[in-house]
Amino acid sequence: MLATLTERRFSSGDWIFERKFDGMRALAVREGGGAVQLWSRNERRADASFPELVEALAELGGPEFAVDGEIVAFDGRQTSFARLQARMHLTGAARIAATGVDVYYYVFDLLSLGGEDLTRFPLRDRKRLLKRAFDFRDPLRYSVHRNTVGREYFEDACGRGWEGVIAKRAASRYRGGRSKDWLKFKCVRDQEFVVGGFTEPQGSRAGFGALLVGYHDGPGPLRYAGKVGTGYDERTLRALRARMDSLERDSSPFQDRVREKGAHWIEPELVVQVGFTEWTTDGMLRHPRYQGERTDKPAEDVVKETV
């Protein structure tokens, strides 16, 4: 179940309000006392990258459950997708330990328990059952919520430097896909984009100059949203260039004309997260900055977030 972006901040006794995390969404599933499975949004298994979470879920939960939550890493007191990047593609105990990055799983919804489907239950009831279903201790954490005071919680969240707040209708059922029963109050502007090409590096820069990014506007080609030239370290520049070289194609995947001399085009499969200040009047990103690769989100689902 996915939230819809809104600029309307409100308080209501019919809604609950949770912290918005800057991490990786994941479902955790266990059937018949078997192994716990972690699934990303694009239906890829993530167990091997986060073995401590799999172990905690198996130890602290029952033999059968399905939960929804967010895998996060912290930079100080803030959740950091950039820091989580160091763990998202790794497997093997030694390589994982060498990163020094601790991860946590904030669980915010209970989809089934003991073989019983709970998605038809109201959210407030699912949260109540969730709190009793696990023995929450690190790295497994219960995602607490506030009742009624959405506007005040949003202001507090922004003051703390959080991503924002997720507002959820307390009586809502759990349904797959984007819904207006879940709403995003964002303190910062960022979203996912699909990479359709890149420019050559200039001077002593490695890898590439800028990513050429866009989003889907219904079925068909991408709409161009601009170029992203900042936010990379040298390791990222080289790694992304290697990935993009393997995806190169002859023609632009964008519906719009892109006036970038000597641009390289790639198959629109790579998804990245980009922070920016605003959309310009001609539909381009203003002051975009690369924040990380999103291996947990399918390219075909990336659309322009609008209010």
Instruction: State residue 307's pLDDT score.
Output: 63
Instruction: State residue 59's pLDDT score.
Output: 96
Instruction: State residue 248's pLDDT score.
Output: 96
Q: Is a pLDDT exceeding 90 seen at residue 86?
A: no
- pLDDT grade for 169, boundaries at 50, 70 and 90: very high
Distance between CA atoms of 231 and 236, rounded to whole angstroms?
9
Comparing CA positions, the residue from 264, 150, 169 lying closest to residue 208 is 264
| Rounded-to-10 torsion of CA 50, 144, 177, 117 | 90
DSSP string, 75-109: ETTEE-HHHHHHHHT--SHHHHHHH---EEEEEEE
pLDDT one-digit tens code per residue, 23-68: 999 999 999 999 999 999 988 999 999 999 999 999 999 999 999 9
Distance between CA atoms of 125 and 127, rounded to whole angstroms?
5
- Cβ neighbours for 156, distance < 8 A, ≥ 6 positions apart: none
pLDDT one-digit tens code per residue, 184-207: 999 988 999 999 999 999 988 999
Q: Is a pLDDT exceeding 90 seen at residue 234?
A: yes
Higher pLDDT, 295 or 181: 181
Region 145-156: mean pLDDT is: 96
Distance between CA atoms of 247 and 267, rounded to whole angstroms?
5
Instruction: State residue 42's pLDDT score.
Output: 86
- Out of 20, 184, 186, 227, the active site residue is 20
Q: Is a pLDDT exceeding 80 seen at residue 220?
A: no
Instruction: State residue 5's pLDDT score.
Output: 92
20 has catalytic annotation? yes
Question: What is the DSSP-derived secondary structure letter of residue 45?
Answer: B
Q: Quote the tokens at residue 305.
A: 């977030």
Q: Which domains does the chain have, with CATH numbers?
A: 2-186 (3.30.470.30), 190-301 (2.40.50.140)
- pLDDT grade for 270, boundaries at 50, 70 and 90: very high
Instruction: State residue 159's pLDDT score.
Output: 93
Element (H, E) at 213: strand 211-216
Distance between CA atoms of 49 and 92, rounded to whole angstroms?
8
Instruction: State residue 36's pLDDT score.
Output: 97
